[in-house]
Amino acid sequence: MSSLSQPTPSWGAADRAWMRRALGLALRSLGATAPNPPVGCVLVRDGRLIGAGRHRFCGGPHAEIEALEDCRSRGEDPRAATAYVSLAPCTRHGRTPPCCDALIAAGVAGVVAALADPIQDDAGAVLGAAGVAYGVGCEAELARQLLGGWLLRVSQGRPRVTAKWAMSLDGLIAGEHGPHALSSAVARMRSRRRRRRFDAIVIGAGTAALDNPQLLALSPPHPARVVISAGAVHAPPPRLVATINQAPLWLVHSQAAADQNLNVWRAAGAMTIAVVDAHDPRQVLAALADRGCSEVLVEGGAQIHGAYLAAGIYDRIEMDLVSQTLARGCSLGAGGMLVPQDWRLAAPPQVYNQTVVSLWDRREEQR
C-alpha cells in the first residue's frame, strides 16, 4: 500500500506475491470468458487475505465483484482494503456495472493493477477522483503472458496462435498409413487437459476426415472445434457432430463453397463462417477473432502446420518429441521448417514416459 503513494510505484515482495495470487485466479478462467479477458482479484488488509474472486464466464460477475462478495461472505468488511487485480477495473457499463464504482462504494483504500486496460484506460482517473490510491504495473510481464491472446485481439484483431504436434525422432508427425498416436497416454491426457485454456481448436479438412476426432478438453469448458475446408467437400466428422451439445462446431470455408455442401454442415448443427480464401491463415484467424477468440490452438496435420509455419503466424509451439522412429510418413510439409533462432524455450521440458513435452515462444523480434 505504501508504494501507491509514490509517483512511480515500486513494488515490494508482498505486492508481487498478492498479484501472483490474483494472476493465479485469472489463469483458472483462461478459455472460459471469451470475448472477455480472464481476470483475478484479491482483497488484502493488514497483510491478510479477506476476499478473492475471478471472472468465470462472459456475462457473469467480474473478478472484483466476486472478490467483494467473497469478502462479505467471510464476515469481513472491504473498507480500507487494497484490491490487487490482474487487469485494471472497468469504468463503463457493459453486461455488468462498472467495477470501479463497486470498489469505490465498498470503501477500498487502494487498487493495484498488473496492467492497464487498453480499451478502458481511465481507471486511474476515476479511482483518483474518488480518493482511492491507484498503481499499475505490478507483475506486468506475467500479466502480459497470461493475457497475450486478448491483448493481441483487441490491439491487432488476431488471436494468439499455438501449434500442437507430436514428432518422432526422425522428424515425422504421422505414419505413412494415416493417424498414429505418437505421444504417450500420459502426454495425451495432459494435452486434453490444456485444451480448456483455448477458445478454439483448429484442424484441417484432411485431419477431420482421417482422424474423426472429438477435440474435447478433459473437462469443461470445451473450446469451439473449428474445421477449415475451403470447399466444404467432406461431410462433418461423426464424432464432432455427436458431441456438438458439449462444444460448438464451426466450419470455416471459402466464399466460393457450394451451398449444397454447406447445408450438410448446417443441418448437422455446425456454424459456417465464410472468408474470401480459407487457404489464407490470416483470413481464418481474423474471422475467429471477430467471434471473440483470443487463444487458438492448431492441432491439424502436416499440411495445415506447414502452411501456418510458412505464413509466420504461430506465436507458440507445443511439441511432443517421442522416442521412436517411423521411417516413413508425413513431415511438417512445405514451408514447415523451424528456424531455431526464431524461438525460445518458454519453460523447462517435461518428460511423460517416452515423450518429452516442450513449449516454445516466438522471439519478440520475430513477431
Catalytic residue positions, numbered? 64
Q: Which residues pair with 296 in a beta bridge?
A: 161, 200
User: Which backbone phi and psi does 222 adopt, to 5 degrees?
Assistant: -95, 135
DSSP 31-76: TTSTTSPP-EEEEEETTEEEEEEE--STTS--HHHHHHHHHHHTT-
How far is the C-alpha of 82 from the C-alpha of 202, rounded, in Å?
Answer: 41
Give the chain's radius of gyration (CA, Å). 23
3-state SS string for the chain: CHHHHCCCCCCCHHHHHHHHHHHHHHHHCCCCCCCCCCCEEEEEECCEEEEEEECCCCCCCCHHHHHHHHHHHCCCCCCCCEEEECCCCCCCCCCCCCHHHHHHHHCCCEEEECCCCCCCCCHHHHHHHCCCEEEECCCHHHHHHHCHHHHHHHHHCCCEEEEEEEEECCCCCEECCECCCCCCHHHHHHHHHHHHHCCEEEEEHHHHHHHCCCCCCCCCCCCEEEEECCCCCCCCCHHHHHCCCCCCEEEEEECCCCHHHHHHHHHCCCEEEEECCCCCHHHHHHHHHHCCCCEEEECCCHHHHHHHHHHCCCCEEEEEEECCCCCCEECCCCCCCCCHHHEEECCCCEEECCEEEEEEEECHHHC
With H, G, I as helix, E, B as strand and everything else as coil, classify residue 292.
Answer: coil
